[in-house]
Amino acid sequence: MFSDFRSMRARRETAILVPMKKAFRIIRLHRPPWGMDRLIGEAAERLGRLYGPSAADNYRAKAPGAMQSNLANPGVYALGAFDGSRLAGLLLSLFREPVAEIPFIHVLESYAGMGVESALVDAAVRLYRAGGVDGILYECLPLSTMYLREAFSAHGFDRIEREIMTAKLDAPALMTAPDLACPPPRPGPMGRSGGHAGGGL
């Protein structure tokens, strides 16, 4: 999904209270808040459904450190949605001139359907719009129950058609494929391999 804001050039940051079904407070985060372990546990469980128990175990082991590094990185804009002092959801975004990217949104299952994702998206869009970015790109693998089409379409985002495919590594076609010499992946921004910094956390 992509939205264009080329005409917006003011540069400021604002604390935002978004009126929703519940009074969720939206706060910029610089360190993991209380309740992050629960969020990581839910995401790991969803990854386990997709890729098996080893993927869930790997995420549980690596995600806490990776999340802490992401939140401390000045290039990452992290927003937490809170119900009182309880973490209800998290959005990670980053600016890659001239556009901003949102590679991660997660809503805790106990808050599914309460509008947390809309509150997070609304706050992120308003902040980036005020900052004068040329556009915002959202792309991630949802690991919780969310209603993102409505959350993004309210801000004029367009849906980009794409194809995503998966295959088990022991699939017969892959087992007979010729060996390929591949260099090891280079670490990407924020110490992760690949092109989408923060994606999948």
pTM of the predicted protein model: 0.68
Which among 86, 56, 20, 8 is positioned nearest to 200, based on CA atoms? 56
> Which pLDDT value is given to residue 186?
60
Q: Is pLDDT of 36 > 90? A: yes
Task: State CA 67 to chain mean position distance.
Answer: 11
Q: How far apart are CA 30 and CA 70, in angstroms?
A: 9
Q: How far apart are CA 56 and CA 45, in angstroms?
A: 6
Q: Is pLDDT of 16 > 80? A: no
Mean per-residue pLDDT for 105-120? 89
> Which pLDDT value is given to residue 143?
77
Q: How far apart are CA 153 and CA 137, in angstroms?
A: 13
Q: Would you list the domain boundaries of the chain?
A: 2-191
Domain 2-191 in CATH 2.40.50.140: no
Q: Is pLDDT of 41 > 80? A: yes
Q: Is pLDDT of 88 > 80? A: yes
State phi, psi for 102 to the nearest 5 degrees. -120, 100
State the amino acid at position 77 in one-letter form.
Y
Mean per-residue pLDDT for 148-168? 73
Mean per-residue pLDDT for 70-80? 91
Which among 110, 91, 107, 116 is positioned nearest to 23, based on CA atoms? 116
With 0-12 / 13-18 / 19 or more C-beta atoms within 10 angstroms meaning exposed / middle / buried, residue 25 is: middle
